[in-house]
């Protein structure tokens, strides 16, 4: 990517903007290729969700993610560039598309800060192939026209454009100038309030009553004969409400009640959104280091401090949950072995407490060798044993056979990559696909030797309860 020595804040005039766009157009003429032009501007404190509320269009792609406990939020809307892929090479194909795009990109602004410069937002399905008629492809990434972010007390607005040699520069200059003027002193009055629908009037178990217990029983028999060591089986429920779901109404609830999770919404531009609050980071890359985690083994939260402490102690002493956790930790180590990473982590897990559930949790980090891309990590880590199983291929084949629905984006990798190769991906669990007055909610549990079908069903019920309360005014 070519970076021009121009600070849009110090040279904040329409004439300076037109000069920059003319340089981009000249590059398009000389190379014979369109140029991605990216302008980053530090702005007064902005709330990315409030901005998205003001510019929301149901027929446009958007990506939103926020983790209040880590002090960041980012929103990207409308697509300047879009790429889809499927099959076992989908992540490497996406990496190649990013590289080609950045070869023909020109940027200005404070590009060393968080969320500055062009970003690629990505939503990957659980499987390499999407089911016929699926709401999302197996992999989609896009560069947004508008991006707004906040990290701590620093806000950045980014405008991205595709510049061709025939582009009407006066028109584009006026449009971009108007947008950046708007972001420098954003008026939230255009936003509409979006609530959540009332309690579901109907909840239907996809696959039928007792189908989950039967699937778990079958999986335990297969574990017993050595087909695989662990499998994560999920349920899906279709909710029907009297009012329509709106992703931004649900997001407002999620950000307030699940500060330790990634609250997210990914829109497909056709009216459907995949939305949720997930506790599970897949991988983050920052300043030459990678960060991931083992998150497996669960227990409910107590109604009092004493009950909660007792449940925490029981989780830390549970042979079944500790074994499940070790399976995930060992799998992460094996999957990354060929990249030459030296993983650093504590010898024993700690407990990550969320609003309604707690998990065994081991943070992992490592220095990133030269030439290793974040999507190389995503390709190897997805799906983790915490959402798939181990051995991976056998468990995934069994999931496809035992689950009576296609997962789509559920338990898939969602996140972004910046122009420096940094980025962050999380796992799309505790989630639902919303579409008008309908939502398909998902919840799963890890099955190992010693699992009890009724207890695993009860664990998913606990997760469904929290999800339904987040999606609706239940």
The CATH number of whichever domain residue 395 belongs to comes to 3.60.120.10
Tell me if residue 149 falls in helix, strand or coil.
Answer: strand
Residue 298's closest CA among 364, 351, 257, 348? Answer: 351
The contacts of residue 216 (CB under 8 Å, 6+ apart) are 233, 447, 451, 453, 456, 457
Three-point CA angle 35, 7, 174, nearest 5°: 60
| Whole-number Å distance between alpha carbons of 123 and 276 | 13
Contact by Cβ (8 Å): 265, 248: yes
Q: Is there a single domain that holds both residue 154 and residue 216?
A: no
Tell me if residue 225 falls in helix, strand or coil.
Answer: coil
Contact by Cβ (8 Å): 295, 456: no
Q: CA neighbours within 13 Å on the CB side: how many for 87?
A: 6
Contact by Cβ (8 Å): 104, 26: no
Q: Is 97 a domain residue? A: yes
Q: Is 197 a domain residue? A: no
Count of C-beta atoms within a 10 Å radius of residue 204: 14
Contact by Cβ (8 Å): 123, 137: no
Contact by Cβ (8 Å): 188, 50: yes
Q: Is there a single domain that holds both residue 129 and residue 175?
A: yes
Q: What is the pLDDT of residue 167?
A: 76
| Whole-number Å distance between alpha carbons of 349 and 224 | 27
Residue 410's closest CA among 306, 310, 275, 296? Answer: 275
Q: Is there a single domain that holds both residue 219 and residue 128?
A: no
Longest dimension (CA), the chain: 73
Pick the last residue of a domain from 164, 190, 216.
190
Q: Is 351 a domain residue? A: yes
Q: What is the pLDDT along the chain (474 residues), one digit of tens a residue?
A: 888 776 665 556 778 888 888 888 888 888 989 999 999 988 888 899 988 988 889 899 999 999 998 999 999 999 999 999 999 999 999 999 999 999 999 998 888 888 999 999 999 999 999 999 999 999 999 999 999 999 998 999 999 999 987 778 777 778 777 776 766 666 666 666 778 999 899 999 999 999 999 999 999 999 999 999 999 999 999 999 999 999 999 999 998 888 889 999 999 999 999 999 998 899 999 989 999 988 888 888 888 899 989 988 989 888 888 888 888 888 888 899 899 899 999 888 998 887 777 888 899 999 999 899 999 999 999 998 889 998 999 999 999 999 999 999 999 999 999 999 999 999 999 999 999 999 999 999 999 898 999 999 999 998 999 899 999 987
Q: What is the pLDDT of residue 233?
A: 98
Q: Is 195 a domain residue? A: no
Q: Is there a single domain that holds both residue 186 and residue 321?
A: no
- Residues classed as catalytic: 230, 280
Q: Is there a single domain that holds both residue 462 and residue 375?
A: yes
Count of C-beta atoms within a 10 Å radius of residue 344: 11
Pick the last residue of a domain from 141, 168, 190.
190
Q: What are phi and psi of 415, to 5 degrees?
A: 170, -155
Q: Is there a single domain that holds both residue 223 and residue 371?
A: yes
Q: Is there a single domain that holds both residue 296 and residue 417?
A: yes
Which residues form the domain of 466?
A: 202-471
Q: CA neighbours within 13 Å on the CB side: how many for 259?
A: 5
Q: What is the pTM of this model?
A: 0.91
Q: What is the pLDDT of residue 24?
A: 87
Total number of domains constituting the chain: 2
Q: Is there a single domain that holds both residue 243 and residue 174?
A: no
Q: Is there a single domain that holds both residue 332 and residue 467?
A: yes
Helix pair 374-381, 90-103: axis angle to 10 deg: 170
Q: What is the pLDDT of residue 189?
A: 67
Residue keyed to tokens 């789509």: 408
| Whole-number Å distance between alpha carbons of 343 and 109 | 35
Q: What is the pLDDT of residue 113?
A: 83
Pick the last residue of a domain from 190, 216, 249.
190
Instruction: Print the SS3 string covering 264-298.
Output: EEEEECCCCEEEEEECCEEEEEECCEEEEEEEEEE
Q: Is there a single domain that holds both residue 315 and residue 430?
A: yes
Distances (CA, A) of 86 to 49, 91, 283: 30, 9, 21
Q: Is there a single domain that holds both residue 155 and residue 244?
A: no
Q: Is 196 a domain residue? A: no
Q: What is the pLDDT of residue 61?
A: 97
Q: What is the pLDDT of residue 7?
A: 66
Q: Is there a single domain that holds both residue 87 and residue 174?
A: yes
């Amino acid at each position: 990517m070519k970076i021009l020595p121009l600070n849009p804040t110090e040279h904040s005039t329409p004439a300076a903007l037109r000069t920059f766009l003319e340089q981009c157009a000249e590059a398009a003429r000389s190379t014979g290729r369109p140029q991605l032009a990216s302008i980053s501007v530090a702005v007064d404190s902005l709330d990315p969700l409030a901005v998205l509320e003001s510019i929301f269009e149901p027929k446009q792609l958007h990506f939103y993610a926020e983790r209040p406990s880590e002090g960041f939020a980012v929103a990207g809307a409308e697509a300047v560039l879009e790429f889809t892929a499927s099959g076992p090479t989908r992540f490497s194909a996406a990496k190649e598309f990013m590289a080609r795009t950045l070869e023909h990109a020109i940027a200005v602004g404070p590009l060393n800060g968080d969320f500055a410069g062009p970003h690629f937002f990505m939503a990957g399905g659980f499987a390499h192939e999407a089911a016929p008629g699926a709401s999302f492809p197996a992999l989609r990434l896009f560069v947004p026209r508008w991006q707004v972010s906040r990290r701590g007390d620093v806000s950045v607005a980014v405008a991205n454009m595709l510049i061709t040699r025939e582009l009407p520069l006066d028109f584009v200059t006026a449009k971009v100038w108007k947008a950046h003027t708007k972001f420098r002193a954003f008026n939230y009055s255009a936003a509409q309030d979006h609530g959540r629908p009332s309690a579901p009037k109907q909840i239907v178990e996809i696959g039928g009553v007792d189908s989950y217990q039967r699937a778990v029983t079958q999986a335990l028999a297969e574990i017993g004969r050595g087909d695989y060591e662990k499998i994560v089986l999920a349920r899906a429920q279709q909710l029907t409400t009297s009012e329509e779901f709106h992703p931004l109404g649900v997001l407002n609830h999620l950000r307030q009640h699940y500060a330790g999770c990634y609250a997210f919404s990914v829109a497909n531009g056709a009216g459907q959104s995949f939305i949720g609050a997930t506790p599970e980071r897949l991988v983050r890359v920052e300043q030459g280091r990678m960060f991931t985690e083992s998150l497996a083994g669960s227990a409910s939260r107590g109604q009092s401090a004493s009950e909660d402490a007792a449940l925490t102690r029981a989780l830390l002493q549970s042979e079944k949950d500790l074994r499940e956790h070790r399976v995930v930790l060992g799998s992460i180590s094996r999957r990354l072995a060929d990249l030459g990473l030296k993983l650093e982590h504590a010898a024993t897990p700690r407990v990550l407490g969320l609003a309604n559930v707690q998990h065994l949790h081991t943070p992992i980090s490592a220095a990133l060798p030269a030439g290793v891309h974040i999507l190389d990590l995503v390709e190897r880590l997805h799906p983790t044993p915490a959402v798939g199983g181990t051995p991976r291929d056998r468990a995934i084949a069994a999931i496809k056979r035992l689950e009576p629905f296609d997962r789509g984006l559920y338990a898939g990798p969602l996140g972004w990559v910046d122009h420096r190769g940094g980025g962050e991906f999380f796992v799309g669990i505790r989630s639902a696909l919303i579409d008008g007055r309908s939502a398909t909610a998902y919840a799963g549990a890890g099955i190992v030797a010693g699992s009890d079908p009724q207890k695993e069903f009860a664990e998913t019920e606990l997760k469904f309860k929290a999800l339904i309360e987040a999606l609706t005014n239940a």
